[in-house]
Every structure is written in structure tokens, then in C-alpha cells.
Structure 1
Amino acid sequence: MGYKVVVVGATGNVGREMLNILAERQFPIDEIAALASRRSLGTEVSFGDQTLKTQDLEQFDFAGWDMALFAIGSDATKEYAPKAAKAGCVVIDNSSLYRYDPDVPLVVPEVNPEAVEGYSKKNIIANPNCSTAQMVVALKPLHDRAKIKRVVVSTYQSVSGSGKEAIDELWDQTKSIYNPTDEYEPKVYPKQIAFNVIPHIDVFLEDGSTKEEWKMVAETKKIVDTSIKVTATCVRVPVFVGHGEAINLEFEDHLDEAEARDILREAPGIMVVDKREDGGYATPVDCVGDFATFISRIRQDSTIDNGLNFWCVSDNLRKGAALNAVQIAETLGQRVLKKG
């Protein structure tokens, strides 16, 4: 016996990935519905060998459905997620709306799978920010061994994190630079993204940080350990898919780089690619379409006591969004609903 599953926002980048991953991982499904806004009504999307026509989110009745994977913005989620939850359908939400709600579990299944059991307070489970998701997968096994005191992370985030319009902007700007007769003014980003990097993701806060940086701090504490100190600098780079992160850790106890490498090799969801030679590391291009979080450049930081550096890349549309949501659904099924 399988589940009745709804994908909300099925025509977007993340929604389409959710459908792909549900099919790839052979999630036990008896019935599936693809929902979108009225303007996308009837748009066809793929689910394995099937073609689904999108249904109208506004008119959909969630009663009798087991899970709804939401991949729409916070404003629409605020309207429709409570309706689904009230109807008895467990919401797995990819927006930022519920991440910091103490009554809503924030889950990365490799890190805190037990947290899904707290879903019943609101019938909602939150998916973390894309940059946080891949980082905490790497932090957790190291934290279990030596206890992390402080994280310093700089991100190199692809434009797909901003949606299809941002992908188009990078493409169109790149073409216009090669063809000077084409003029293209930035629309999605405040500055040119082609052949450039922008140290600004989301809005600025009073302390000078951006909201994306604040998210990494708050979410790491909620998912891994409230005592961990985190500081982040988040940068948008001219890459279509795949986020990179340079991570520096300070531990309470000494952790040798060789032991750290062994721990990460054995950890769930991680692929270590760490050869000290040309090309012996993972890049965003290497991780596109893959389920894993890739770790490279593992090395001691001799400037502090108990320090370690490494490089982390992952497909942000997968582990950073759609894959993690499907893994939450799998975990919920295995631990709580137990149908499949």
C-alpha cells in the first residue's frame, strides 16, 4: 500500500525536481497530483513514464491525501499550507515560512530524522535553506566526534537558487556581453551577474548581514546544536546549478584531518573526493543531478586550536530543496505513517 501525494508548485524548477526524484527513488505512491497556480492550469509535467496535467491549487481538496510537498513562495504557502494541514494532509514545505517556528520541525534526514515525529503539532514539516542543508550534512558526523564550537562559512551560490528568471538573466547577460549589439539590464539581481560575483543574497539586516546569512546561522543551530557559533558570508556566482561552500570549523577536541576524512566517507549522503592533485576535488558542475553532498580539500587549519577546513558542493535543486523534501517524506513514512 502506497501514499497519496501532492506536489504543489509542480511547474517550477523545484517542483519538477520533486516529481523526478519521487520517481527515481521509487517512492511508494498510489496516487499523485501535480498542482500549480491557475495561470499554469493544464501544463504537462513528467512523473517517471507518466505525464501529469497540473490541477488548480485554489480549488484542490487536500482531504484524503497523505502528504503535500510544497514548492511555492512563502505568501502562497501561508494561504494554502494550513488548509492542507487542517484537512489531514502532512505538509512538507520548501519555503522559509515555517523554518523558525518552534512548533514545526526543521529536518535534514541524515542529521535529525527523529525530528519528523514532532510534525503533529501543526501537521507541517519544514525543509531548510539550500545552503544550510548541504552544510549540516557534513557538520553532523564531525560534531558527533569532536563537538564543533564555531563555523565560518563562505558560500558560492548558483543562480538557480533564485529561480528560472535568474537562470535566464545569467544566460541573456552572457550572450549580450559576447554580442555588444544586445543590451541587457539586470532585473533579478542588483548588479550584473555574468562574469561577476555578488556578495548579497536576500535582504540586508540591521547588523549588516543578509537574511541568507542569518538563515544559515539560525537553521544550523535548530538542526544540529544551539550551542554552535556560526558566521556566514553568502555570495551569488555565475553558475547555473550547484552551490559551493568553503567551511572552516573549530572543535572543542582535536580532530585529525585523516580521521575527519574517514568519518565523512562513512557518513550518509556524503561523497568524499579529496585527492591532492589537479582536478582531485568536486566542483558544482560535477554534482549536478547527483543525490550526494561532495566534500573535498579536507585539511588542518593550523592558525587555531582544533581547526579544520574543507570544501563542500551539492546540487541545490536536489539536496538543497527537492531531494531533502522527498527524503523527509520517506522518513515520515518509515517512522510515523508506515504505509509503504
Structure 2
Amino acid sequence: MTLTVAHGTARFPAVAAPTVAQARELALEAVRAAGLSVADIAQVVEYTTDPGAGTGGWPGVTLSVVAVEGLPGGNGAAVEVTAYLGGGERFSTPHGVVTVAGEVVYLPGIVPAPGVIGFREQYRSCLEVAGELLKAAGLGLDALVQTTDYTATATRAEYPRCGRPRRDLLGGTGADGHPVHPGAAGILVDRPVAEGVMVTLDAVASRRELTAVNPGWSRYDTLTYKPGLAAGDTLFMSGFGALEPATQRAIFDDDLLAQAEFTYAGIKAVLREAGLTGEAVVRLVEYITPDAAARYHEVAALRAKYFPGSPALTSVVCSALLRPEFLIEVVPTAVFP
């Protein structure tokens, strides 16, 4: 996968290395090789098996640190960079740096406020912190377009409890007058970023009006997220897995290739509804379980078939996915011409 550039935004595929420090250096080399500098960086996401390794490598940059079970190939860290010519506007807050790059608002990695105890309470706290971050950019929670939350396998049974704070705090009315909620993905990781933290959240927002994109899947009528959300030049999407929309039944148990093809086909359906093709996808984040890691390389040909535009790719091994049958979950981002 190669660097993708669209509407002034450059998305770099994640670079992996044995340590976070080495991955940072490789990421900076890629940025400089593209004729850019640290001043142009809009967001950095560090995926690491050692979240306590420190975050001093990106002063003044919007940073998210994601704890993972591992990485394909056995490295210990991967760094993903998104750049925007000139770097956009940066706002320093007590929770980290917020960057507005054109119409997209990148938030730093979010953890609950100190002293908050309990799964649902920590989830609500993360959303409230997101609201505080968005205020710095003059926006509210109704501007969110995509969230990815990271929780532990032990909290899987409690996970439905996060629906209440999402229902209370998120959502709005789209440009077409219909309800909108941000896209969402839920990933299970048994490596907390800090002691006592049960939930961490990555989030992106937009300054543009939002429109929900749904191929007609009725299951989303009662959920606090949508399969796709169009905002200006960008189509932000939820996490996709091998789940039949009509029956909500997980399918293709223990078959990674079949699950991947079904997942990619679901993404294609949302793209089609938005008037796009697979070539419009500029970024893919693929979460695979440990059971899928050995055969993950076999997915590459399928990915190229569905997304011939060579999107920037980040691949990580999580502890598990919310549906125990899932071997892979994919979070895509696409752009309009």
C-alpha cells in the first residue's frame, strides 16, 4: 500500500518496527520523503504493544496511542501519519492537541477523566471529554463523524451499556433532515493504556454538514451509529465484519477469507449508495484476531480486488472483536471526487 493524497490531505500507510521509537523515525522519514515536515502533520496514531513507552516523540501534534495485542509480522509498534499542507489549525487543550485540517477535525486519544469508575461511566466520560475537545474548535458532539473505542475482553458482556451514553450525548439532524450518528467500531484489547482505564476512544469530527449513508439496512434504525456518514469531501464509515445486516447473524466461522470478502462487499455496498467505487477508499484500518494472524497475508489479493486505489493501510492484531465469531473488522474512509 502507498501514500494516498486527496483534497490536500496525505494519508501514509502505517510503518512498523520493533519499538515505538524506531517506528516514529521511519514515519518521519516517509513524511520527509514526501516533501512534508512535522509542521504539516495533522494526526499521528501509534499502535503499540507497550503503551507505557512514552509519547515524547510528537510535541505539539495531535496524537493517539492505541494499545494492541500485536502486529502482523511480529513487530511491537506501528505509526500511522495523516498530513495536511500547512498543518491546519492547532488548539492546545488540557486533554491534548486538536487539529483542524480543512474540514476535518482530528482529536487526540481520549481517556476517561480521573477518578471515574465503572464501564458505562468511563464511556460517558470519554464522550464528555470529546465534547470538551470539540469546543476548542468551536464545535459540539453533533459534529463527530467516526469513533473507535477500545475496551477489554472482560467487559464484552457490559459493552451494550455504552449505548445509553451514546444515545444521550451523540446524534443530530443531517443536511437531508434525517437523523445522523457517527460511524463506530468497537475493538477489544487486553492491554490498558493506563491502570484502571477500561475505555479509550479515538474520534474524528467535521466542520461540514453531515448526511447518513445507508444501503437500506434496517438494523441501523435503532443503533447509535450509521454505516456511513458523508461530510463534505469525505465518507467516514463504521467498522465492518461478517455480519448479515438482515439477521444480525455472524457468518463464516473460522474462515478468514470468506469473512474478509463478505466484509469488503458490505463496504462496497455503502460506497455504491454514496455514488462511489472501491477506488475512492483512501484509508483502511484492519483489526484481526490472533487466530487470523497466520493467514492474514492471504487477504491481500481480495483487498486489491475491492480497493484498487491502493488505500493507506494499517493492520493490527487485537485481543478479540465484539462478536466472538469475527476474525477481522475493517474501518474504511473514502473521498468524493
TM-score (norm 2): 0.28
More helix by share: 1
Larger radius of gyration: 1
TM-score (norm 1): 0.28
